[in-house]
Chains A and B, each alone.
Chain A
Amino acid sequence: MRIRYYMMCFRFEALVASHLEPEEFGIYMAVGTKKLASGKVMFFEVDPFPRPGAIDPGYFRLDDIEARCAPRLDGSPKRSKYISVYRVLEHLSLAQFGALYLTTSDGRVLKLDEAPWDGGLADAAAPKGSSIAPSGVNLYQELCPLLPMVVSTQGPDEFLRGMTDARNPVSAPRLLIADLRLNRDVAGHLAGDLPYTDARHIEECVRELEQDASKPSKTVSRTPRTQGFFRVLRRGFFLGDATGLKFYRFPTVDELEIHHAGWWRSAQMA
Chain B
Amino acid sequence: MTTKTSSARRSSLLRRLAAPLFGIALLSVAWCFRPGDAHAGAGPTPRAFQFFSLFSDPSFTTLERTSLIAVLVIAVAGLVYALVLARQVVAADTGTQRMQDVANAVREGSNAYLRAQFRKLGPLIVVITFLLWLTYSGSEPVFRWGRAGAFLVGALFSWTVGFVGMRLATTGNLRVAAAATRSYGEAMQLGYRTGTVTGMLTDGLGLLGGTVIFLMYGVHAYEALLGFGFGGTLLALFMRVGGGIYTKAADVGADLVGKIEKDIPEDDPRNAATIADNVGDNVGDCAGMAADIFESYEVTIVAAMILGMASFGHKGVIFPLLVRGIGVLGSIVSTYTVRAGPEDSSDSALSSVHRGFWIGSTLSVIGFFALGFFYLRFDASYLSINPTAFAGFPGGDPTHLPAWASLGVGGLDLRPALTCLIGVFLAVALNKVTSYYTHTAHAPVKGLAKACTTGHATNIIEGFAIGYESTVATIVVVAAALGLSVLCYAGAPPLFVAYGVAMTGIGMLTLTGNTISMDVFGPVADNANGIGEMGYDPEEMERQKPGSYKKARQILADLDAVGNTTKAETKGIAIGSAVIAAVSLFSSFIAVIAVGSEERIGEMTIAQYQAEAARLTVATPSVFIGLLIGGAVPFLFSSMLIRAVGRAAFFIVRECRAQFRDLEIWRGTKKPDYGRVVDICTSTAQKELTGPALLAIGMPLVTGLVLGPYALGGFLAGMILTGQLLAVFMSNAGGAWDNAKKLIEDGIYGGKGSEAHKAAVTGDTVGDPLKDTAGPAINPLIKVMNMVSLLTLDLVLRFHVGTTRTDGLFGIAPGILGAVLAAVCLGAVLWAVNKSKQGTPGLEDDEVPERS
Contact = CB atoms under 8 A, between A and B. Distances in A.
Interface stretch (A25-33, A90-98, A211-219, A235-243): A25-33
Contacts of B849: 36
B775 to A, nearest CB: 29
Given A27-B667, A36-B660, A104 B263 contact: yes
A60 interface: no
Contact of B550 (A106, A197, A254): A254
A227 interface: yes
A193 B678 CA distance: 36
Contacts of B262: 36, 38, 105-106
Contacts of A34: 661, 663, 850
Given A107-B667, A195-B752, A258 B850 contact: no
Nearest to B747: A193
Contact of A37 (B667, B749, B852): B852
Interface SS majority for chain A: loop
B140 interface: no
Contacts of B542: 258
B666 interface: yes
A230 to B, nearest CB: 9
A192 B533 CA distance: 26
A162 interface: no
A183 B341 CA distance: 35
A34 B668 CA distance: 15
A265 B663 contact: no
Given A36-B851, A231-B753, A258-B539, 18 more contacts: A33-B663, A33-B852, A35-B851, A36-B661, A36-B849, A38-B261, A38-B262, A106-B263, A127-B747, A192-B749, A193-B750, A194-B750, A257-B538, A258-B538, A259-B538, A266-B263, A266-B264, A266-B265
28 contacts: A32-B851, A33-B852, A34-B661, A34-B663, A35-B850, A35-B852, A36-B262, A36-B666, A36-B850, A106-B264, A191-B747, A193-B746, A193-B751, A195-B751, A195-B752, A195-B753, A195-B754, A227-B755, A228-B750, A231-B753, A257-B549, A257-B553, A258-B549, A258-B550, A259-B539, A261-B538, A269-B264, A269-B265
Interface string A82-117: 000000000000000000000011110000000000
Interface string A250-270: 000010011101100110111
A168 interface: no
A199 interface: yes
Contacts of A32: 851-852
Nearest to A191: B747
Contacts of A259: 538-539
B564 to A, nearest CB: 19
A223 interface: no
A199 B666 contact: no
Contacts of A76: none
A36 B851 CA distance: 5
Contacts, number: 107
Interface residues of B, number: 35
Interface in B238-287: 259, 261-265, 268
A227 B747 contact: no
A34 B533 CA distance: 28
Interface string B687-702: 0000000000000000
Contact of A195 (B265, B538, B750): B750
A270 B852 contact: no
Contact of A38 (B663, B749, B851): B851
B798 interface: no
Interface string A183-207: 0000000011111110100000000
Contacts of A191: 747
Contacts of B553: 257
Best-buried of A104, A105, A228 by chain B (most CB within 10 Å): A228
A256 to B, nearest CB: 10
Interface in A4-34: 27, 31-34
Given A127-B747, A258-B538, A258-B542, A228 B754 contact: yes
Chain B interface secondary structure, helix, strand, loop or mixed? loop
B215 to A, nearest CB: 57
Contacts of B663: 33-34
Contacts of A27: 666-667
A34 B659 CA distance: 11
Interface string A158-198: 00000000000000000000000000000000011111110
B741 interface: no
B788 interface: no
Contacts of B315: none
A195 B751 CA distance: 6
A264 to B, nearest CB: 10
A130 B752 CA distance: 16
Nearest to B743: A192
A266 B752 CA distance: 12
Contacts of A268: 265, 752-753
B146 to A, nearest CB: 57
Nearest to B550: A257
B747 A38 contact: no
B538 A193 contact: no
A32 to B, nearest CB: 4
Contact of A231 (B261, B748, B751, B850): B751
Contacts of B667: 27, 107
A37 B663 CA distance: 12
B757 interface: yes
A269 B259 contact: yes
B263 A105 contact: yes
Contacts of A193: 746-748, 750-751
Contact of A192 (B550, B748, B755): B748
Given A193-B747, A195-B751, A254-B550, A38 B263 contact: yes
Contacts of A262: 668
A263 B58 CA distance: 76
Interface in A112-145: 127, 130
A228 B752 contact: yes
A231 B852 CA distance: 26
B751 A194 contact: yes
A35 B265 CA distance: 21
Nearest to A268: B752
Contact of A269 (B660, B750, B753, B754): B753
Interface in B526-542: 533, 538-539, 542
A36 B259 CA distance: 15
Nearest to B554: A128
A225 to B, nearest CB: 9
A196 B453 CA distance: 12
- Top 7 A-B pairs, shortest CB-CB distance: A193-B747, A228-B753, A195-B754, A32-B852, A35-B852, A193-B751, A192-B748
A32 B749 CA distance: 33
Interface in B731-756: 746-755
B661 to A, nearest CB: 6
B757 A195 contact: yes
Nearest to B746: A193
B755 A197 contact: yes
A91 to B, nearest CB: 27
Contacts of A258: 538-539, 542, 549-550
Nearest to B668: A262
Interface in B660-680: 660-661, 663, 666-668
A248 B89 CA distance: 48
A259 B263 CA distance: 21
Contacts of B752: 195, 228, 231, 268-269
Among B263, B538, B663, the most chain A Cβ lie within 10 Å of the Cβ of B263
A232 to B, nearest CB: 9
Contacts of A270: 263, 753
Nearest to A127: B747
Nearest to B548: A258
A42 B666 CA distance: 19
Interface in B182-216: none
Nearest to B259: A269
B534 to A, nearest CB: 10
